[in-house]
Structure 1
Amino acid sequence: MKISFTTLSCPDWPWERILDEASRLGYDGIEIRGVEGEMYLNRARPFLPHNLSHTKRLLKERGLAICCLDTSCVFHDRSTYSTYLQEGKDAVDLAYQMEVPYIRVFGNNVPEGQDESEIIDMVADALSELGVYAKDKGVSVLIETHGDFARTDRLLKVLEKVDCDSVGVLWDINHPYKTFKEPVEQTYARLKGYIKHTHIKDSLGWGRDARLCMVGKGDVPVTRCVELLSQNGYEGWLSLEWEKKWHPELEEPKIALEEYIRYAKKYFANLKS
């Protein structure tokens, strides 16, 4: 398994510092969720067409890979559906150009008063269209366990409607456990055939009262989640999602990133498959 962090962790760092710190700390790669304030990645400075070759060279020089491009795409709202579908396709094109294996999208909600089955169909249709678009480019489209689709019985209803092997799941280990109190063993048993990428985070409290904290300081069974992955042959990424972008009160990125790589080396490295 490989260790990465999302750029949500360090929203104020310039691109070159992100790469330098990742390399210095011994990370295998980074996950892109905004760079230098730009959240639409095709418009971010490192990923403008004239900068792609230079960006690839910087990554190679530091021995780093980009593991996933994280979009803002949500597919529960018909009024924004086409816009986000295009953003997803743009992200697939960028992933192809940058040799990135995954893009991330959301379900995301089942709005009150709306027919849940219609929302499920709409999300499944979006994943199917993006999956077909991505397949020949060697990219997979991952729906995150997030929002109302962190409830995995609901997420499974979506996945069962999608007949495309370039669609999978990004398992955020916090959301199903903290929002719906799903035992991690249940979540994993339901999704194990779909999980291609994993977000690691920890928190204290439940539901809306849950507050992010340093990995290992909360009550999410982090090492149990990684153990389940390891026992079933997972060789993907364990990516820290330290949401400094959305929660500026959190510890500074230098502290969080150093602590996570230390934790990962101590608790993940010796897990046996």
Structure 2
Amino acid sequence: MKISGHTMGTPEYTVIEAIKLFHDIGIEGAEIVIQDGYCSGISCACSKEELALVKKAAEENRIEISCLTPYNSYFNSLDEQIRTAEIDAILKVIDACEYLGAHFIRIYGGNLQAGDTANLLERRAKLVESMQFLGERAAEKDVTLLIENHFNTMAVSAKETVDLIREIDHPAVRILYDQANLNFTEQEDYKAAIEIQQQYVEYMHVKDLVFKEGVAFNSSEVSHPDESERNVYTRIVGEGIIPWAEILKMVKEYGYDGWLSLEYERRWHPDDIPDASIGMKKSAEYLKKIITEQEKALLSRNNWVIT
């Protein structure tokens, strides 16, 4: 497994500075936000000049661009003008992936506010249609679309995400496993989530949290809950309640050997966690320790069997 930094965690840095930071703290990849107006993101226009600077920085710092992360979500809209605009935006991101040598794009599984039950079948059909079309375009560029376990979408739970992936039925559309999201939306625990969806997982987000006492989850946005709606505090990985050692052991047993992307949520919750140079570094060190210890344990068991 390889560790990637996420520019959600570096709001005080430009993308170029974030890439240098990721190199300096000893991680191998960068997941980069695609959004206008964000310091640590690539603009939605994805101009060749802008991408060339990012590519140069990545090459100089020996950082692989692991994933590009746009914030489009209305792939299930019944308004064809809106849906088409979202699709066109992802086509630009697919082209950006090809230029940067990236192979993954984070995708929201549509936009669905909690409690919204209007025209669900029609909106789901539009989401499936959108993903099938984009899957074809992505496959042409050796890119995989990753539908994330995420609130306010049509893929909140592991089960919902798997059902959606099976309906889309395209090899270039797979799952981004986010156990923290499943935890704070009160969906499956890690054992159930991994058993249900791991055969479709091609990327993982890693973050940590602790629950607020007596507060239920709510969010009026897809990207993140407002401070007034939060039921958790975000934490440095290893300092919260998510059992990452057990999760990594279990996904490894299912054959996962891909990216572990540190979705360090300093952009949204800067009061909870320190600058990425401190907190993301500690998070990466914690993951490396788990990986090393598990590799040693596996080697020890294999040697014992051979003896």
Task: Establish whether TM, by shorter chain, passes 0.5.
Answer: yes
* 3-state DSSP of counterpart to 2:271: coil
Match of 2:290 among 250, 257, 267: 267
Evaluate the alpha carbon distance shift between residue 179 and residue 3 of structure 1 in structure 2; reply closer, same or farther with a 3 A threshold: same
Evaluate the alpha carbon distance shift between residue 34 and residue 166 of structure 1 in structure 2; reply closer, same or farther with a 3 A threshold: closer
Match of 1:157 among 152, 159, 163: 163
Q: Do the aligned residues in 1 keep the contact of 2:25 with 2:277 (CA within 8 Å)?
A: no
Alpha-carbon separation, structure 1, partners of 2:268 and 2:5: 15
Q: CA deviation at 1:52?
A: 3.5
Q: Do the aligned residues in 1 keep the contact of 2:7 with 2:30 (CA within 8 Å)?
A: yes
Evaluate the alpha carbon distance shift between residue 51 and residue 72 of structure 1 in structure 2; reply closer, same or farther with a 3 A threshold: closer
Structure 1 segments, 4+ long, off by >4 Å, are none
Alpha-carbon separation, structure 2, partners of 1:117 and 1:51: 40
* 3-state DSSP of counterpart to 1:271: helix
* 3-state DSSP of counterpart to 1:68: strand
Alpha-carbon displacement from aligned partner over 1:94-134 (angstroms, at most 9, x marks no partner):
10111101011101443413143333222222211110111
Please state if 1:141 is matched with 2:145.
yes
Q: Do the aligned residues in 1 keep the contact of 2:78 with 2:123 (CA within 8 Å)?
A: no
Alpha-carbon separation, structure 1, partners of 2:42 and 2:94: 11
Q: CA deviation at 1:144?
A: 0.6
Unmatched tracts of structure 1, length 5 or more: none
Query: Equivalences for 1:1-273 in 2 at 5 Å?
Result: 1-34=1-34, 37=38, 41-43=42-44, 47-74=46-73, 75-79=75-79, 80-111=82-113, 112-147=116-151, 148=153, 149-205=155-211, 207-208=216-217, 209-250=231-272, 251-272=274-295
* 3-state DSSP of counterpart to 1:180: coil
Please, which moves more after superposition, 72-81 or 151-160? Answer: 72-81
Alpha-carbon separation, structure 1, partners of 2:41 and 2:52: 19
Please give the TM-score of this superposition, normalised by the length of structure 2.
0.81
Alpha-carbon separation, structure 1, partners of 2:38 and 2:52: 21
Please give the TM-score of this superposition, normalised by the length of structure 1.
0.91
Q: Do the aligned residues in 2 keep the contact of 1:23 with 1:64 (CA within 8 Å)?
A: yes
Q: CA deviation at 1:143?
A: 0.6
Alpha-carbon separation, structure 1, partners of 2:86 and 2:160: 21
Q: Do the aligned residues in 1 keep the contact of 2:68 with 2:106 (CA within 8 Å)?
A: yes
Q: Do the aligned residues in 1 keep the contact of 2:236 with 2:280 (CA within 8 Å)?
A: no
RMSD: 2.2
Unmatched tracts of structure 2, length 5 or more: 218-230, 299-307
Percent identity, please.
Answer: 23
Alpha-carbon separation, structure 2, partners of 1:18 and 1:8: 10
Alpha-carbon separation, structure 1, partners of 2:111 and 2:47: 31
For residue 59 of structure 2, what is the amino acid of its counterpart? K
Alpha-carbon separation, structure 2, partners of 1:155 and 1:261: 27
Evaluate the alpha carbon distance shift between residue 120 and residue 221 of structure 1 in structure 2; reply closer, same or farther with a 3 A threshold: farther
Aligned to 2:226: none
Report the structure number with the largest CA radius of gyration: 2
For residue 253 of structure 2, what is the amino acid of its counterpart? Q
